[in-house]
Every structure is written in structure tokens, then in C-alpha cells.
Structure 1
Amino acid sequence: MENIIETCKSLDYSWLPPEIGNFKLNVTGPDEIVKAQETLAAGEAVLTLPLFHYENDLGWKWCALYDKEVEDYTVHVVMPLFTFVDISFVRQEFEPYWQGLQERCVQGLSKLLINSAENFTYTYMRKGLQNWDYESVMPAELEGFVRDITPKNAVRMINGSYIIGEYRKMDECTGLLLYYNEYRDEFFAELRYQNYPEIDHHLDAKSLDDLEHVLSEHLKNILCELNSRG
């Protein structure tokens, strides 16, 4: 890890725009390097070295960092209820990683989290999700949960999955994630309770008609049940 810290000690961040859409820049590298050096000097392990991130008012983050566990320079997309890696930026060596960020950082963040419709595939469009009138079965607020992802701004992940809906409590890691997987052509949901993942099969569906039905039947009850815990 000492070599990684040395490589990143004198980085030039001046090329980074202070804002990308509604995401604001936070350069963390210099402070994190000091912390990492102190941690290593104390004989403890350093697992990540965050360099910078962009964050919006919803708490969505696009983070550039070194990940010791996989020994890669990478980008983590950190959302309130889930995290994943943007594999298009992963590199083992620093120079191609930093160059890739300089060339594609703005485009990569924008396409993934701001103008996410640019990531919609033919299969996603053919399913009718972008033009689906979901408001009656996915209201903006329900049982104290806020909807901050919809089929119109779905987040494309890996393995053919999109998050097409998210309901969450703004002050805690509790809520519901609704997925569409284009390879399996199916809808399904996951729950989070205080950041612990759970599978819930009440929202399993194969078609939009089926999905509308199970949402109207079960979504409110699922969120009520999450509220009743604790």
C-alpha cells in the first residue's frame, strides 16, 4: 500500500470540474493519504484510498479510489441502498486509470447517473419501461418512503440488471429496490432494513401488466411491514 500512497501523493486534481450536472466535487485524496500514512504507521491495514468523489443532494456518489482488496484502481457508485463498481474504469496500473478518468469522467458519470436513458438498451426500450405510466402503482411518496429512482431514470448495473425503482427513508438505509433483468426478462425486488439485504418475492413478475398488478397488491404492505420493525 505504501507504493500506492506514494503514487497518489502529489496528484493534480485541477482538471476536475467543480460540478457535473447536480453533482458536486469533493477532493478527498490529500486528507485520505495523511490518514492512510498514520494508519500504516500504527501497524493497521488500509483497505481503500479514496481520491475524489462527486455527490448530489440525494446522497448518490461516484467515487474514484484504490481498492486494496482487489488491488485495482476503480470507481464505486455508492447509493443510499446499494453500491456497485463501474467496471469500465477499473485498471491495475495508475497511469491508464488516471488517463481514463481525465478522458471519460464527465461522460461516465453523466451517462450513468444524470442522463441514464443513454444507457437504455434495445431490450429495455422494447419492454416499454421508458414510456410506462407507473405513477398509479409507484407514487412519489408512500408510507414515509421517498421514490428517487423510476423507470425513466433507471440505473444500469452489471449482469443485465437495471434498478427501475427505489423507495427509501431519507435518514436511514431502509427501503426497497425494484429491478428489471434484461437477460432473464423478469422483474424482482430486494429489501434493505438498516442496510441488511433481503429478498422479497411478492413483486416477482414477467410482464409490465403483471408488475402493475403485484405493485398495486403488495407495495404498500411491504413498506408498511418495514415501518413496523424495531
Structure 2
Amino acid sequence: MTEYRMVQENGGDKEYLLFAYCNADNNWSVRAIFNPDSEEFSVRTDIGMLEFALIEFITSDFAMFRAMVEDRLARIIRDYYVEPSRNFSVILKNKGLPDVDWDEFLPAEYGGFRCLIRPNQAVRIINGSYMILSYYQKESRSGLSVMYNVLRDDFFAERRIHNFPNLVHDFDGSSLEGLKRALQQRLLPVLDSISADIS
């Protein structure tokens, strides 16, 4: 999808949208923008529970930005979001995350939340982390995400209520077996508590 338009927020210019690729099935988008305040071009990724900039694309030089986009963006979209297993680190593979039968106990939907990311489709995000699980309700911008940080070798989670984040400690730890037990015992109650807090 290609668009050239100014995106406004709170009555002011937020960003000029150059183009965007969207996947409605998995609820992710990658968009190229120009920020009128910083006068910089960048590429931003939105995977439902998290939005962030791909820092290697940030520049004030349009010719450089265009060259980087042409040279690398298609490969990054394929490896990060279309076929995320191509981007699994050795640490993530050795942890065993791709090998567990997660479908056995992770529902595709629950209480209005849709599972967008599963551990065997983990998405590399920022600061040495992968988002390994995401349950999201697009209408309320609320849900639960579980991450794995390869540098610290630990699992941690965040819940969002109307896009406002806070940590949830039910899934903290470094053991894969511990994570499986925590998800089997605590996933649905945590989603129930998020649902209760949405209204």
C-alpha cells in the first residue's frame, strides 16, 4: 500500500506517511515516514502490542534513506515479519522455543483477545528481545505480550490497557518449562484481569 499524506494527531502534524506495508491477518505494519519536527526520515514497525523505529534507517538525508530502503527493507520485512524463523538467533533456537507444541495449550482466541504471535513465530523487537507471545484486542488497544531477552536469558511480560503499558510478573523466569507451566496456569486468568480492566 502506498500513501503520501500528512498524518495529524491532536490537531497538529505528526508525520508525513511516505508508504506503508500492512498485514491485516497478523496485525502488523511497516511504514516509512518523515517527521516534520526532527526533520528525519525513519521506518517504524507496529506489531499490535508494540511500535518502534528500526534505528538503522533514521537519517535526515533523503537520498541515503531511499538507498537504505531499496537495499534492505524488503529483506527485513520478509525475515522479521513474514518468515520470522529466518531471524531466530542461535540462543533462541538453543532455548528450545521453536520446538514446543504451543498449539496444544495456547488458544487462538480467548475473551475477545486474538493470538497474533506464538513462540515458534517469535518476532525480534528491540534491546536484544523477541516478542514470543501476543494476545491483542485491536478495538481497545489492550492485551498481553510475553518477551524473551537473549542477553539476560529471561522471560518477562507486559500488559496494555488502552495502550498504557505495565509489567506483569506471572511469567517471569528463565526456564522454558517454567514458562510453559506459567502459561498453562496463568494465561487465561491474566487475560481475564485485562478484560475486566478495559471497561
Tell whether the structures are fold-level matches, with TM greater than 0.5: yes
Query: Is 1:83 paired with 2:58?
Result: no
1:124 alignment partner in structure 2? 92
Query: Is 1:28 paired with 2:3?
Result: yes
Deviation string for 1:170-228 (max 9, x for gaps)?
A: 43211100100000100011001111111100111211101011111211100111122
Q: Distance in 1 between matches of 2:146 and 2:35?
A: 28
Q: RMSD in angstroms over aligned alpha carbons?
A: 1.9
Gaps in structure 1 of 5+ consecutive residues? 1-24, 37-43
Aligned residues: 195
1:67 alignment partner in structure 2? 35
TM-score (norm 1): 0.79
1:213 alignment partner in structure 2? 181
> By how many angstroms is 1:70 displaced?
4.5
Query: Is 1:49 paired with 2:16?
Result: yes
AA at the equivalent of 1:107 = R
Q: Distance in 1 between matches of 2:39 and 2:149?
A: 29
AA at the equivalent of 1:217 = Q
Q: Distance in 2 between matches of 1:182 and 1:71?
A: 34
AA at the equivalent of 1:51 = L
1:142 alignment partner in structure 2? 110
**CA 1:92–1:172: 2 relative to 1, 3 Å:** same
Query: Is 1:159 paired with 2:131?
Result: no
AA at the equivalent of 2:139 = D
Q: Distance in 2 between matches of 1:102 and 1:178?
A: 32
Q: Secondary structure at the match of 2:195?
A: helix
TM-score (norm 2): 0.90
> By how many angstroms is 1:107 displaced?
1.2
Identical aligned residues as a percent: 29
> By how many angstroms is 1:108 displaced?
1.8
Moved over 6 A (4+): none
> By how many angstroms is 1:109 displaced?
1.2
**CA 1:202–1:147: 2 relative to 1, 3 Å:** same
1:202 alignment partner in structure 2? 170
Higher strand share: 2
Gaps in structure 2 of 5+ consecutive residues? none
Query: Which has the larger Rg?
Result: 1
Q: Distance in 2 between matches of 1:68 and 1:161?
A: 30
> By how many angstroms is 1:81 displaced?
1.9
